[in-house]
Structure 1
Amino acid sequence: MGCVLAKKAKHPPGYEDPTILASETSFTVNEVEALYELFKKLSCSKFKVGYIHKEEFQLALLRSSQRHNFFADRIFDLFDINHNGVIEFGEFVRSLNVFHPNTSEAEKIAFAFKLYDLRQVGYIKREELKEMVLAILNELELSLSDDVVDTIVYQAFIQADLNQDGKIDTEEWKEFIAQNPSLIKKMTLPYLKDVTMAFPSFIVNSKVENIEMNI
């Protein structure tokens, strides 16, 4: 059975008019239409049901649907705005818009905060930052002692936790980013400024050198 997004097929649930999406993002109507072609390709790569599942998302990012990756999981969760376990077309476009060169720095900072706010409670705690550091080390296939990891986390909180209450809130995060702009450097993808039907493969390098946590 062919993909439900094949030619002449009905649009799947979650599809939104390109004109509306263009009005809400930095993309033009033509660029949104090009993104739909990419969405169709990704959503039919494994399950052929018109949504992007986590396995398909990992396949696009990592060229493997089996390899577990902490950052791929986190990005998928943030793209899945309505938390139904799949990425719909509207979610796909709105989430990619965060990485558009014309998107405001404030939106990028907010997205990055959500990435680190693993428990989704509105602040980043010390143990969450430690999980991120350990995941980064795992990506680099590096092993550091617990004491070294704890020192890295401690130094980050010295700088970021301005009121010393053991957590980083959104305002402290903004100040932390202002002091460490490299933390959101890779949240701008230049090629999103000129999306065409020949859109490149949706590959996001999740290695640490692209996250650039200077902590």
Structure 2
Amino acid sequence: MGCFMSVPKKPSHGRNGYENPVVLASQTAFTVSEVEALFELYKSISSSVIDDGLINKEEFQLAIFENKKRDNLFANRIFDLFDVKRKGVIDFGDFVRSLNVFHPNASREDKINFTFSLYDMDGTGYIERQEVKQMVIAILLESETNLADEVIERILDQTFLEVDVKRDGIIDREEWLSYVTKNPSLLDIMTLPYLREITMTFPSFVFNSEVDEISK
């Protein structure tokens, strides 16, 4: 860790091309110590398949599914949102900046935007019923919970009845913001109170929390 914290020749990057933790701390709600802890997590994930200092999709999925090789829509969406540069890999800087949305001190707006983008799979700026259904099914599959299609459809009916106030069959950002404002507990899963939770349970906590809500 001492080498990683050494003063770099360029102010924005540390040795081996990693961004300086002091700079990353200034750009996020993390402290320098938290960035250092995240670097240890990052190193573990990025070397699990190919030791190239980057996290690819397979490594990301292995981290989520605790070494079970499984492809999952939910995991793909999280990876896509973390893969800011759209290069098929996640570097350390983007890992920290993306993970920042789960920090207790991250803005409520960032958390709302992240959850909206999670369901807006095709990036149209609104959430369609089929996108919600795909995500619900993905979460249920991961939790090994089986629900009949008619039950899932009822969940969707109730969701759109509550959220789609314009009754146009889609959920836009304004409707999502209004819904979350009325139901702030929906953002509970977007906050990890302690660094230990970040380093030990990210990102599987999202599955557990969302499935619990669906099962109620």
Q: Where on the TM-score scale, by shorter chain, does this alignment land: which range?
A: 0.7 to 0.9
Structure 1 runs not aligned, ≥5 long: none
Larger proportion of helix: 2
- What CA distance in whole angstroms lies between the structure 1 residues aligned with 2:41 and 2:138? 29
TM-fit CA distance, 1:145 = 3.0
* Alpha-carbon contact 1:60-1:201 (below 8 Å) kept: no
- Return 200-209 or 84-93, whichever deviates more: 200-209
Q: Which residue in the other structure is 1:26 paired with? A: 29
TM-fit CA distance, 1:65 = 5.2
Task: Give 1:117's aligned amino acid.
Answer: D
1:204 has 2:207 as partner: no
TM-fit CA distance, 1:188 = 0.6
Q: Which residue in the other structure is 1:11 paired with? A: 16
Go from structure 1 to structure 2 and tell me whether the alpha carbon gap of 1:66 and 1:132 turns closer, same or farther (over 3 Å shift): same
Task: Give 2:153's aligned amino acid.
Answer: D
- What CA distance in whole angstroms lies between the structure 2 residues aligned with 1:56 and 1:82? 17
2:109 to 106, 124, 127: 106
- What CA distance in whole angstroms lies between the structure 2 residues aligned with 1:34 and 1:136? 28
SS of 2:63's equivalent in the other structure is: helix
2:172 to 169, 172, 178: 169
1:61 to 48, 64, 71: 64
TM-fit CA distance, 1:10 = 4.8
Task: Give 1:127's aligned amino acid.
Answer: Q
Go from structure 1 to structure 2 and tell me whether the alpha carbon gap of 1:65 and 1:134 turns closer, same or farther (over 3 Å shift): closer
- 1:107-153 deviations in whole A, cap 9, x for unaligned? 11110101111111111011111112222332333333333222211
1:143 has 2:146 as partner: yes
TM-fit CA distance, 1:168 = 0.7
- Return 147-156 or 30-39, whichever deviates more: 30-39
* Alpha-carbon contact 1:22-1:28 (below 8 Å) kept: yes
- What CA distance in whole angstroms lies between the structure 1 residues aligned with 2:137 and 2:49? 30
TM-fit CA distance, 1:203 = 3.7
1:97 has 2:106 as partner: no
2:184 to 181, 190, 194: 181
SS of 2:166's equivalent in the other structure is: coil
Structure 2 runs not aligned, ≥5 long: 5-13
Please report the TM-score for the alignment, with normalisation by the length of structure 1.
0.83
SS of 1:201's equivalent in the other structure is: helix
- What CA distance in whole angstroms lies between the structure 2 residues aligned with 1:71 and 1:52? 17
Please report the TM-score for the alignment, with normalisation by the length of structure 2.
0.83
Q: C-alpha root-mean-square deviation of aligned residues, in Å? A: 2.5
TM-fit CA distance, 1:55 = 1.5
Task: Give 1:176's aligned amino acid.
Answer: Y
TM-fit CA distance, 1:56 = 1.3
TM-fit CA distance, 1:214 = 7.9
1:152 has 2:155 as partner: yes
Task: Report how many aligned residue pairs link the two structures.
Answer: 202
TM-fit CA distance, 1:69 = 2.6
- What CA distance in whole angstroms lies between the structure 2 residues aligned with 1:126 and 1:44? 38
Q: Per chain length, whose mean CA-contact separation is higher, i.e. which structure has more relative contact order (CA < 8 Å, sep 6+)?
A: 1
Q: Which residue in the other structure is 2:8 paired with? A: none
- What CA distance in whole angstroms lies between the structure 2 residues aligned with 1:145 and 1:200? 36
1:45 to 40, 44, 48: 48
